[in-house]
Amino acid sequence: MLQLRDSTMAFKCYYGLERYPMKNTATLIKLTLLALTFNCCQDQKEKTAGNISGLWSLHIMELQDTITGDWNEWRNGMQGYLLYDNYENMALHLTVKGYQDTDLRFPNFTDTISIDALKHLTGSYFYMGRYKVLENEGVVRHTRISHSNPGEWNAVVRRKFSFSGDTLVIQPEESQNAGLRLKWVRK
């Protein structure tokens, strides 16, 4: 017992805790609180980023009726995927429902495809880019680095996001798409 007490005293003396016990205790408490606060903030950031990251499958895409406020399925149904990785990269691919169910076949990177094939291609919408979660605003910002529409390359768009249970709900903020709501389920 004496030996343990002596080693404790030696520790206190070595680190200067014996001379100013109250001052050191207050400093120790402050440092502990600071460390706990930092860890809590980090955990919250990782939890939010972890919530949105992953591969999502489109459950439904809806358009809000401007008169009644009702939500109705848009364009007789859409399908697609949304990917957010853990490194702030993202990709979105939307198509009309049943896009893959066609007998049309055409080569890539050619200018000799039929009008029907060209019309069919307009049923596919794709972009990829970088994303940033703006937690305080409930917004995820997409900075597009490529797009199926050349006029949309490098555009920055904002999407409100929320969760309804396990469903990710995304709503565009820009005026031309503000009436849309996309509901995604994790794959």
Q: Residues of the chain with pLDDT > 90: what percent?
A: 68
Domain match, 129 and 42 both? no
Per-residue model confidence as pLDDT tens digits over 170-181: 999 999 999 999
18 phi, psi to nearest 5 deg: -80, -35
Of 20-24, 122-126, 170-174, least confident by mean pLDDT is 20-24
As for how many domains the chain has, the answer is 2
Beta bridge partners of 159: 140, 172
Domain that holds residue 21: 2-48
First and final C-alpha spacing in the chain: 60
* Average pLDDT over the chain, rounded to an integer: 84
The CATH number of the domain holding residue 88 is: 2.40.128.280
Q: Give the pLDDT of residue 106.
A: 87
Residue 161's closest CA among 93, 94, 84, 86?
Answer: 84
Contacts of residues 5-10 at CB distance under 8 Å and 24 or more positions apart, as own/partner, are none
Q: Give the tokens for residue 64.
A: 């809000």
pTM: 0.73
- Better-scored residue on pLDDT, 29 or 139: 139
